[in-house]
Amino acid sequence: MKRLIRKQVLIPVLAVVVLVGASSFKSDFFEIAKQIEIFTTLFKELNMNYVDETNPAELMDSAIKNMLGELDPYTQFLNEQDVESFKINNAGEYSGIGALVRSYENKLLIVEPYQDYAADKAGLKAGDEIIKIGETLVADFDDNAGELLKGTNNSTVEVTFLRQGETKTTTITRGGVEVDAVPFYDMIDDKTGYIVLSRFNQKASKQTQSALQDLKGRGAERLILDLRGNPGGLLSEAINVTNLFVPKGELIVTTKSKVKKFNQEYRTRNQPEDEEIPLVVLVNGKSASASEIVSGGLQDLDRAVIIGARSFGKGLVQRPLKLTYGTQLKVTISRYYTPSGRCIQSLDYWNRDKQGNAVRNTKFNEFTTRNGRKVWDGGGVMPDITIESLKTNSLIDALESNNIVFDFATQYFYDHSFDSVDNFSFSDSDYSAFKAYASQQNFSYQTKTEKVLEETINGDDTLLGAEVQEKYKDLLLAVNRGKINALDTYKDEIQKNLEDEIITRYFYREGLYKYYLKHDDAILTATGLLADNNKYSSILK
């Protein structure tokens, strides 16, 4: 009954938003007008007659966000601050403290200070918990307190934070922050270049092109493009980056929508920078959206070998639509399809399970690349060569979402010292210390086996008696023992995440990428493949 009432309130709000920008719904005009009138009356009566004072703005904001939550996580209402953040993210420039910050209910956590920017110069470190900004306690601030850290160039802000149980204070002088799309590139050996493309903002294609030109000038005859962890960004920049390696006029993406004007074909418009250089693209489970357009397109056109782990699987396209009072609706308008015709969307948000969770696709359709190689839809971009240490699972996801790896890295940083990334090592005894630490933390995760057991035991089958209940408990104990042992089973995958987090604490992102050049499994595999022209060519053929 509660769910029904919620939808009666929220669906009219959807009608308000859709009416603003979608003429295709004219046939439903009467129903839309009816629902608007119902909601307007309800909202007015609620605010006038509710027993306590209400906050109309908060009620409406909550209604809109909960309503959009019924659709997909990418369809979002953007208030004025959100719109500004959206613009900054695409532009790659803003003024602030220069740090990646994560917001919690009563604190802000410094995840990563950017080298030589304001937060770094003020002495903030990853793991610091900001509890006060100026005179404002973070715990008492209703909105995202991270907004208080933003400000004009040369303005100052005093922050109070906790570090290893000790309260500290520092003053930060804000400054301009350049968010590079290509934070690092270098030569791996005398013939192999390496480019990290971390996001698809407005700088992506220009910076990738500049890096490629510089590397070729230094002798690069083959290239590794690293898209691991790249969450995506501008569709236009994904086309432009792909265009660096394929001819003008090549079809890269097709978008399909129920709104006719959003059905489009996107082709390359420029002459390529180099359509012959042997190319490997690295992806993992955090490579999404625009990253998948580039990797999927290059794979379909047999222009690159894809190495790593299955990508995230976001095959949806969003567009910001202007609303009133400076707000916007970022709405999913279409699905995109790679040159072979496949959509790599992995989660079905429109056919959910009993718990309301999006269902992951398990049935894949087969497509073929230009040379006739088999590829599949519905589950992200599958690599041509899989790197086991890049795979993820429910344990690894739980360690990350519960900050187990992050918090261990924080403690490790204050207990160890390294003067150079070349001297860094993470020993077996270090990993044993992590296992002991993880086993003491209060975190949990549910495996597929547990989900099946739970659904079975809680079903309507009345034949299940006390004996089955006891067997169920025994099975759960066995599963829990297996979960502890999984820290050993997935040591390589977990240790890579630990090393990434720890190295960044000492030597920032640049140090991590330099470490990758000599130690990363995917880069070593890619370098070896590119050095073997026959093997490289055989994969693409």
What are the residue numbers of the active site?
289, 300, 314
Alpha carbon of 304 to those of 7, 158, 245, 262: distances in Å? Answer: 47, 49, 9, 29
Is there a contact between 305 and 539 (Cβ–Cβ < 8 Å)? yes
Alpha carbon of 245 to those of 222, 239, 241, 293, 400: distances in Å? Answer: 12, 11, 8, 14, 35
How many CA atoms lie within 13 Å of 298's alpha carbon, on the beta-carbon side?
A: 34
CB neighbour class for 176 (10 Å; exposed up to 12, middle 13-18, buried from 19): middle
Tell me how far apart the alpha carbons of residues 342 and 366 are, in angstroms, rounded to a whole number.
8
Is there a contact between 226 and 304 (Cβ–Cβ < 8 Å)? no
How many CA atoms lie within 13 Å of 119's alpha carbon, on the beta-carbon side?
A: 27
Q: Do strands 156-163 and 166-173 pair parallel, antiparallel, or not at all (unpaired)?
A: antiparallel
Q: Which is it for the CA torsion 511, 515, 517, 518, positive or negative?
A: positive
Tell me how far apart the alpha carbons of residues 108 and 33 are, in angstroms, rounded to a whole number.
43
Of 363, 364, 347, 344, which Cα lies nearest the Cα of 291? 344
Element (H, E) at 18: helix 2-21
What DSSP assignment string belongs to 285-312? TT--THHHHHHHHHHHTT-SEEEES---
Tell me how far apart the alpha carbons of residues 181 and 199 are, in angstroms, rounded to a whole number.
5
Alpha carbon of 260 to those of 23, 252, 315, 455: distances in Å? Answer: 11, 19, 18, 43
Give the burial string for 200-237 (b: 16+ CB within 10 Å, else e).
Answer: bbbbbbebbbebbeebeeeebebbbbbbbbbebbbbeb
Q: How many CB atoms lie within 10 A of CB 473?
A: 11
The token pair at 427 is 């020993």
Instruction: Find all residues with CB under 8 Å of 9, minimum gap 6, and list them.
Output: 39, 42, 63
How many CA atoms lie within 13 Å of 307's alpha carbon, on the beta-carbon side?
A: 25
